[in-house]
Amino acid sequence: MKRFIPNWITCLNATAGTLAIFMAMYGLTVWAAALVLLAMVFDFFDGMAARLLHVKSEMGKELDSLADVVSFGVAPAVLAHGLMLGVLPGGSVWSWEDWSGWERVMALTPLMIPAFSAYRLAKFNLDERQSVSFIGMPTPAHALFWVGAVLGAAYAPEVYGRLFASVTVLGCCAVILSVLLVSELPMFSLKVSGFGWRENRVRYLFLGALAVCGCVWGWAVLFMVIPLYILFSVVAFFTTLNRR
């Protein structure tokens, strides 16, 4: 019986992601964002359960990837699509004829998200280099960017309006983050094996920077989580190169 527990949790991940898609389709974007966060919780605990119960399996790994495509590929694409509609003329796909050629191209960029996420997950399953850190952006981190954008639009609308109220900005974010999913950029993991400063320096600095930003900018910190994550990963990468 215990060998099925991690797979049940993984199925809850897929269910939460599917509900997020439904909520986004109904215009309940904050609920959709919350359900993607819930899917991340299930995604964390299915792996933990498999390790604690000593029931890791190839089926579990494949099932986890399939669930992640839904929760961290399709669901974020729907969130991104909704955000773009919010800043396009007419606010609906029925206004397609009123959009410029550039706006139409940008409106299609969320289609990259599930495609690149699926590719990244397949690559991750075969890449043995990613046992401690990541090569390329993990799909939950990518999803977290769009969750932060949705929650920021709801709770920090003035900052959101200045930073993201443009289909060009949102479209470029979709393209850049999708490319990062399949890039060779090393990115640190937040999983820790100990609490020492040396092995966790980047993690501690990242969390400290988030805490400072949260104290200074409040809810606007939601927009900064993933940009800071990328920045610290790039700095850590070049620092490691210099040491070599």
Predicted local distance difference test score (pLDDT) of residue 2: 72
Predicted local distance difference test score (pLDDT) of residue 244: 61
Of the candidates 215, 96, 97, 73, the one whose C-alpha atom is nearest the C-alpha of residue 146 is 73
- The 8-class DSSP code of residue 1 comes to -
Share the mean pLDDT of the chain: 89
pLDDT digits (tens, 9 = 90+) for 149-196: 999 999 989 989 998 989 999 999 999 999 999 998 888 887 765 667
What percent of the chain lies above the pLDDT cut of 90? Answer: 54
| Exposure string over 7-24, b if 16+ CB within 10 A, otherwise e | bebbbbbbbbbbbbbebb
More confident call, 192 vs 9: 9
User: Which residue in this structure is represented by tokens 């969390």?
Assistant: 207
Predicted local distance difference test score (pLDDT) of residue 192: 61
More confident call, 130 vs 151: 151
Question: At 186, is the secondary structure helix, strand, or coil?
Answer: strand
pTM: predicted TM-score of the whole model, two decimal places: 0.90
Predicted local distance difference test score (pLDDT) of residue 19: 97
Please, what sign has the CA dihedral across residues 16, 134, 169, 109? negative
Name 65's bridge partners.
none
Name 116's bridge partners.
none
Phi–psi pair at 135, nearest 5 degrees: -110, 105
